[in-house]
Amino acid sequence: MRLLGNILWIILGGLVIALAWVIIGLVLCMSVIGIPLGVQSFKMAGLTLAPFGKRVEYSGGVGSLLLNIIWIIVIGIWLAIGYVAAGVANMITIIGIPFGIQSFKMAKLALMPFGAVVV
């Protein structure tokens, strides 16, 4: 079921969104200050490419918390709102419910990526 879900996800837009995350990550990695943000973008690209069968585990200390606060203020809240909106739109139909659940998973990671590990 995970394979089928990931294939449908990729066909229905997951590949385009993952490529956009990779491009954003490459642009961010052009400066020394942007490298930590670029690494988080690559993490989002990996989860966006094939979200079914993966989970996000959080660990980290004060450094991750401080970086997440900055991330939330700068861009995280807008990314999370976009993923939540996509999740709600997917939940309208019974067929879209699994895709909505994956969108909510990505919203959580988009809100607080520092200290998170995709397993």
Query: Does the pTM exceed 0.85?
Result: yes
Amino acid 60: pLDDT: 82
Rg (CA), the chain: 14
- Average pLDDT of the residues in 89-96: 93
Domain that residue 109 falls in? 2-118
- Average pLDDT of the residues in 53-63: 89
- Average pLDDT of the residues in 82-90: 94
Amino acid 61: pLDDT: 86
Residue 47: is its pLDDT beyond 90? yes
Amino acid 1: pLDDT: 82
- Average pLDDT of the residues in 68-85: 93
Query: 10 vs 5, 30, 50, CA distance in Å?
Result: 9, 28, 7
Share of the chain above pLDDT 70, in %: 100
Domain count, the chain: 1
Helices 77-90, 97-111: crossing angle, 10 deg rounding = 170
- Average pLDDT of the residues in 70-95: 93
Token pair recorded at residue 45: 């690209």
Amino acid 64: pLDDT: 92
Residue 4: is its pLDDT beyond 90? yes
Amino acid 68: pLDDT: 93
